[in-house]
Amino acid sequence: MYAQVCTRPDIAFAVGMLGRYQNNPSLDHWRAAKKVMRYLQGTKDYMLMYRRTENLEVVGYSDSDFAGCVVSRKSTSGNIFMISSGAVSWRSAKQTLIATSTMEAEFVSCFEATSHGVWLKSFISGLRIMDSISRPLRIYSDNSVVVFMAKNNKSEN
């Protein structure tokens, strides 16, 4: 868990999924945990890297599955934020509501990412390590309907 929270955004989803079964793990969960450990062993040279830059820009990426939890039918949201090409914040968590479509699950994920991105940008500005973060917050999503709705701020209903 420490590796996922502090240094390894690439295992956030797998660790989150395993965490759902920590009260009653089965042999399959143990095997999956061992796969994560083998992956970490094979990628122990991976590290977070940051580049020096004149302008800080916060860039976010958002994604979601649809009804990935077979028990509750809840989706899982994930996002990551980069500054100077390095990850500074990431999250993978089960959504609190039951989405009725892929678009809704992706939109919830994008909303959560946007909320966190606005806070992150404000937090970094408050540190006063640079005059300002001059560029607007960018968040990328792989769902074209979510991108359309976010840009147009309306639905067709």
How do the pLDDT tens digits run along the chain, 157 residues long?
Answer: 666 667 888 898 988 888 888 888 899 999 999 999 999 999 999 888 888 877 778 899 999 999 998 889 999 999 999 988 889 999 999 999 999 999 999 999 999 999 999 999 888 888 877 655 667 889 999 888 888 887 887 555 5
Residue 2 to residue 7: CA distance in whole angstroms: 8
Residue 124 to residue 17: CA distance in whole angstroms: 30
| Closest among 79, 82, 136, 88 to 109, alpha carbons compared | 79
Predicted TM-score of the model (pTM): 0.81
Q: Specify the fold of 48-157.
A: Nucleotidyltransferase; domain 5 (3.30.420)
- Where along the chain do its domains lie? 1-47, 48-157
